[in-house]
Structure 1
Amino acid sequence: MNPTGLDLPPLAAAFVFGLLGGAHCVGMCGGIMSALTFAVPPSMRRPSRMAALLLGYNAGRITSYALAGAIVAGLGALVGLAPGVRTVLQWMSSLMLCLMALYIADIWKGLRHIEALGKRYWRYLEPVGRALLPVTRPHQAILLGALWGWLPCGLVYSMLSWSLATATPSQGAMLMLAFGTGTLPALLVTGVAADQIRRLLNSRATRWLAALLVIALAIWQLIVTQQS
């Protein structure tokens, strides 16, 4: 198999990682969703409108993920022109996936330090988002969601390292699209159901299962690299 190719298993794995990383998403973004909901005037909180806004936020967010995946994969293509760099990118991606596994299993939270680096640029985007509040129309929700997609997040950065290793913009975008789609259930469901999802995804067994899946992917990626 071509190590730079992207077939169904990697896309399915990226989706599962997004799904199992939902506890982190709810913890990090659940408060944002609640704040945006209560910012809408009570007289405008019709179910149909709120559903449209919710879908708009997430459509914008996932679009930004895909764009970021295409950008870093394009950078990977440029850097990958040098001999041996592709192998280094594959190793870096596998290392980031292992760190992601430790993060999900609640063993080591070092990815928070990477998130702290991202806060340097987020302070320039945050005022733009505030200017869109309160959100009452779908196009505002999409724009705000697109900004939200650049919120510093260790799990997103881990997946971007994988996109970087593909060194193909279309493949990097597809990988991040699959990951973003996997995060949808946790962020689309609110209230009591969200609490139930949080408890399920925060359970030790679920976190360890997700961590083992991520490590298995990292090992698979290294094996494929060595065979190239």
Structure 2
Amino acid sequence: MNPTGLDLPPLIAAFVFGLMGGAHCIGMCGGVMSALTFAIPPSMRSAARMGGLLLSYNLGRILSYMTAGALVAALGTVLSPSLLARQLLQGVAALMLILMALYIANWWKGLLRVEAVGKRLWRHLEPLGRRLMPVVHFPQAFALGALWGWLPCGLVYSMLAWSLATAQPLLGALLMGAFGLGTLPALLATGLAARKLNHLIRHPATRTIAALVIIGFAVWQLWSLSMHSGGHSHANH
């Protein structure tokens, strides 16, 4: 059994989850992207420079995701010294993925309550972001994006729960990196492509399919976990 309790490639799954969460990213982070764009002086808004600055923002954001993934996975090594504890963490991670699916499909918004966990931290980080504006250099954009990565987000927390369950810092970081890369298309698309992508991602059918896929993935994790647990118990008996 692999560390995530899944037979499917975990990094590919994390990337797909980020892609499917694009509707939430557009709704929650679209305004942030617009604010960051307006933070660039008009004289520096050439297509090439804008693209580079926006990419720098997102690289900083993804690095923050990976840092958080490594940290919570390291915490997982402390919290899961026994097989039972590891299985409990994996079960919690699967349930968080189900909450993510319910949110994406607009079936239940309970995941928003989880975002309250990070609001206190964000209150301390937001003033630091204001000091980095207006943005004129790529390192400045990268630093601002790195702060943006700590914006309270239920989808990110769901993925962090999965990273926690791995109890492997490198894997936790890679999972969050793959998830972050999956969110890029929705946040970097521009013009007509952005409108088409926005319409596709926000379409109820797309969101329903995405939710069902994630729920199926989580149920498969729980089933694999129960099978492994049952086999272990039988062997002990």
Percent identity over paired residues: 64
User: In the alignment, what sits opposite 1:212?
Assistant: 212
Partner amino acid, structure 2, of 1:173: A
Q: Aligned-pair distance for 1:190?
A: 2.6
5-14 vs 79-88, greater mean Cα deviation: 5-14
User: In the alignment, what sits opposite 2:193?
Assistant: 193
Stretches of structure 2 that go unaligned for 5 or more consecutive residues are 229-237
Distance 1:200 1:120, change over 3 A: same
TM-score by length of 1: 0.95
For 1:152, what is the secondary structure of its paired residue?
coil
- Cα distance in 2 for residues equivalent to 1:38 and 1:125: 20
User: In the alignment, what sits opposite 2:114?
Assistant: 114
User: In the alignment, what sits opposite 1:148?
Assistant: 148
Q: Aligned-pair distance for 1:224?
A: 2.3
Distance 1:70 1:162, change over 3 A: same
Q: Aligned-pair distance for 1:44?
A: 1.2
Q: Are 1:133 and 2:133 matched, yes or no?
A: yes
Stretches of structure 1 that go unaligned for 5 or more consecutive residues are none
Q: Aligned-pair distance for 1:223?
A: 2.3
- Cα distance in 2 for residues equivalent to 1:144 and 1:131: 9
Q: Aligned-pair distance for 1:3?
A: 3.9
Q: Aligned-pair distance for 1:114?
A: 1.0
TM-score by length of 2: 0.92
Distance 1:77 1:6, change over 3 A: farther
- Cα distance in 1 for residues equivalent to 2:224 and 2:170: 20
For 2:134, what is the secondary structure of its paired residue?
coil
CA contact (8 A) 2:94 2:222 kept: yes
Distance 1:148 1:6, change over 3 A: farther
Partner amino acid, structure 2, of 1:47: A
Distance 1:156 1:79, change over 3 A: same
User: In the alignment, what sits opposite 2:42?
Assistant: 42
Q: For the aligned residues, what is the CA RMSD?
A: 1.5
Greater gyration radius: 2
Q: Are 1:178 and 2:178 matched, yes or no?
A: yes
Runs of 4 or more consecutive aligned structure 1 residues displaced over 6 Å after TM superposition: 5-8
Q: Aligned-pair distance for 1:175?
A: 0.6
81-90 vs 4-13, greater mean Cα deviation: 4-13
- Cα distance in 2 for residues equivalent to 1:170 and 1:51: 29
- Cα distance in 1 for residues equivalent to 2:124 and 2:73: 24
Q: Aligned-pair distance for 1:5?
A: 7.2
Q: Aligned-pair distance for 1:39?
A: 2.1
Q: Aligned-pair distance for 1:36?
A: 1.5
